[in-house]
Amino acid sequence: MGHKILLVVITLAICACQNSPRREYFALSASEADFNITAQTPVNQFVGIGPVIIPEYLQQNKIGYWKTPQQLILLDNHYWAEPLERGITRVLALELQAAHTDWRVLQFPWPNNQRPNYSIKIDIQRLDAFTDHLVFEANIDWINVQTRAVLGSQRIKLRQDSRANSAAIARAISELLQQAARIITPPPLHNGS
């Protein structure tokens, strides 16, 4: 009798595993215009993106939204395709490269043989999805990599309409990053310094 019960339990467990919902993965994206760059422009600056710092509650692979200002809902079986800070770095690099064709944009961490002249440190204070919108707040510092001096700072605060589902959240964050890249303002940069 005990063997029959054990066999039934094992069969139910196998069936439950086979019926579990499949995981869905979402990635951030750069604007379509960025993929149509064809002009060859000489590189005058090597600019690094990073480090990008995000709040600890975003340092996970599940996608979520705030049901209330204190309650974060993580969506079942909906995951980021890459760590969020890496996706943010990648999209900002693509957007800035498209906007400044004379730059060579490097993603942090950069190899020792390709150190940028300047880096853009991005400290994201908020990247919060709610049921109907998304809020992005970040401090931007331009740093001379050689001297480690902060050359300029900027605060960015943006809002984007959105819905509380994974595809809409990924799309809204992508659009906010595209907007942020357009308003990130470099201080005067010296060629090759």
* pLDDT (tens digit per residue) in 132-150: 999 999 999 999 999 999 9
pLDDT at 51 (0 to 100): 94
Any domain includes 189: no
Q: Band of the pLDDT at 43, cuts 50, 70, 90?
A: confident
Answer yes or no: is 123 within a domain. Answer: yes
Confidence of residue 189 (pLDDT cuts 50, 70, 90): confident
pLDDT score recorded for residue 14: 57
| 150 close to 141: Cβ distance less than 8 angstroms | yes
The answer to whether the Cα torsion of 53, 56, 60, 66 is positive or negative is: negative
pLDDT at site 193: 47
Q: Tell me: pLDDT of 83 over 80.
A: yes
Backbone angles phi, psi at 71, to 5 degrees: -120, 115
Upper half-sphere CA count for residue 146 (Cβ side, 13 Å): 5
| 75 φ/ψ sector (left φ>0, alpha ψ -120 to 50, else beta) | beta
190 located within any domain:
no
H or E element that contains 84: helix 84-99
Q: Domain total for the chain?
A: 1
6-42 tens-digit pLDDT: 555 555 555 555 567 899 999 999 998 645 555 677 8
Host domain of residue 74: 2-183
> What does the mean pLDDT of the chain come to?
87
Whichever domain contains 125, its CATH number is 3.40.50.10610
Give the closest residue to 54 by CA, choosing from 155, 128, 125, 129. 125
Q: Quick check: is 18 in a domain?
A: yes
Q: Is residue 94 part of a domain?
A: yes
